[in-house]
Each structure stands twice: as C-alpha cells, then as structure tokens.
Amino acid sequence: MKVLLTRPEGRNQSMVDALNERGIAHWVTPLLCVQARPPIAASIPHPLANADMIICISANAVTFADDALTATDPQTQTWPQAQYFAVGHATWEALDKLDIVALEAPDDCQQTEGLLTLSPLQDIKNKQIIIIRGVGGRETLAEQLVERGANVRYWEVYQRACPPLNGRHIALQWQHCGIDTIVITSGETLDNLINLVPKELFAWLRACHIIVPSHRVEAQARAFGITQVTNASAANNKAVLNALKL
C-alpha cells in the first residue's frame, strides 16, 4: 500500500507521522488550498455579535476567524461568550487551543448529520446561531437549524481553490510511484482530484482505494465510477487510520 495524502498545505504532517510510525509509504500532494477572505471593516459590527451558539465547520474556519478577529482589533474583537460546536475533532482541537470549550459531533458521525443529533441543538427556537465556514458549502445544517426555529447567519472567513497543478504530469507521477490508496477529506478535494486526472488515466484512478469522510462524499465518488471506496465517517487521523486498517 502506498498512500496519497491530499489535505491543504501544512495539514498533512500528523498523518505523515502516523504512517511513518507504521512503516507505510506515502506521498503528499495538497489538492485544496484555502485563502483568507478580506478583513472585517472597522465600521461593521462584530461578526459574532449577539450569538447564542457558534458552530465551526472546520479547523480552517477556527483559524481564519481567529486571525480576522485579531487583525481587526486585538483589544476588542475577541471570541464572545456563547455555546460552541465543532463538526469534527480537528475543529474541536483548534477551538481547544484557543481555550474555547466546545461540543463536537459524535465519533461515529463527525459531519453535519452527527452534529444535528446533539441535544443542545434540538430545542433552539429563536436562538441566534452563527455558522463559521468557507465560502459556499452545504446548506443542510443551516436549513435544519432554521426548521427547528433558530435564526441562522453565516460568517464566511475563507475560500477554497485548487492548487495550480499540471493534472497529467502529477497523475503520471502518482501512478509511476505506485499510489494505490488516496485519502480524501472533503467533497471539494474529490472534485479537484477528478478534474486533475486525465481521461486516459481514469482506469488507474478507478483501481485505487479511495478513503472518504462521509456518505455524501462516498456517493459523490461512486457517481464518478469509483467503486473501491471506504467511508471513514470522519476526516480525523483516527478515522482514516481505521479505514486503512492500521
């Protein structure tokens, strides 16, 4: 087995360490990059003002939100008192590093659907909920919270893009170095992978074992004709290692 890791730059090291400990060969090619959104204008109210609950979709959401708050005015723009939620464990860890106590989605479903099962998110009529995320993404969480009576707003603190890669060149590299397992941690990353691999190399891609973080991304992969798919049910290291049977 030789594993391709595809998280954004700087986000693969913990998995590299875990694979090295187990003697598993690997290759790192970030297939997603994230960029900060424009800073908050001084004339605009605190983006988290009046929040009863704050939901962070990803570790990037925590990092870029913290950077934005600090850059605006380190003295006044701080994380407010509210009830915090993290979709996955990496997001929970990012909040924990800021000394923010948060609830996270259950281990067996670290995604929107799991988060929505948490008891504090059931009786939320008239609650002011802020979802911190990147530009775009799924609307399921906000829709479900609104159905339960909450008032929901987004704070979009970053945007995603595909790194500038020569698709044919990089896909041939992966094939020639023996990549047979690919770890995908988001639907956007899967889209970038599919768009990069040229048609003549799709047979190789379909022969690879693809690890995905959710049922939604699994269905997305199968729609592209990829059949060797394992749903890790989360994007954290423990879930991925379990999916790799390590």
- In this structure, the answer to whether residues 202 and 185 fall within a common structural domain is yes
* pLDDT at residue number 74: 54
The pLDDT value recorded for residue 43 is 58
Render the chain in DSSP notation, one character per residue.
Answer: -EEEE-SPTTSSHHHHHHHHHTT-EEEE----EEEEPPPPPTTSPPTTTT-SEEEE-SHHHHHHHHHHHHHH-TTT--PPS-EEEESSHHHHHHHHHTT--EEE--TT--SHHHHTTSGGGTS-TT-EEEEEEESS---HHHHHHHHTT-EEEEEEEEEEE-----HHHHHHHHHHTT--EEE--SHHHHHHHHHHS-GGGHHHHHHSEEEESSHHHHHHHHHTT---EEE-SS-SHHHHHHHTT-
- Looking at residue 44, which CATH number applies to its domain? 3.40.50.10090
Q: What is the pLDDT of residue 72?
A: 63
Q: Are residues 134 and 168 in the same domain?
A: no
The pLDDT of residue 69: 87
- Examine the fold and report which residue of 129, 160, 191 is the final residue of a domain before the chain moves on: 160
Report the pLDDT value the prediction gives residue 77, as an integer from 0 to 100.
61
**Domain limit, last residue, from 160, 187, 217:** 160
Domain check: are 50 and 101 in the same one? yes
* Tokens at 4, concatenated: 């391709």
Local confidence pLDDT in tens for the 246 residues of the chain: 999 999 999 889 999 999 999 999 999 999 999 889 887 666 567 788 899 999 999 998 999 999 988 876 555 568 999 999 999 888 999 999 999 999 999 988 888 889 999 999 999 999 999 999 999 878 999 999 999 999 999 999 999 889 999 999 999 999 999 999 999 999 999 999 999 999 999 999 999 999 999 999 999 999 999 999 999 988 889 999 999 998
Q: What is the pLDDT of residue 132?
A: 96
Q: Report how far residue 130's alpha carbon sits from residue 142's, in angstroms, rounded to the nearest whole number.
A: 9
The pLDDT of residue 151: 97
- For residue 219, the model assigns a pLDDT of 96
Question: Residue 99 has which token pair?
Answer: 């000394």
Domain closes at, from 160, 186, 214: 160
Indicate if 144 and 229 belong to the same structural domain: no
Q: Domain tally for the chain?
A: 2
Q: Model pTM?
A: 0.71
Domain match, 74 and 121 both:
yes
10 Å Cβ neighbour count for 146? 14
Residues 48 and 145 in one domain: yes
Structural domain of 197: 2-32+164-243
Whether residues 25 and 42 share a domain: the answer is no
Tell me, yes or no, whether 42 and 146 share the same domain: yes
Same domain, 12 and 59: no
pLDDT for position 103 = 96
For the packed helices 187-196 and 167-176, what is the interaxial angle rounded to 10 degrees? 90
Q: How far apart are CA 245 and CA 127, in angstroms?
A: 42
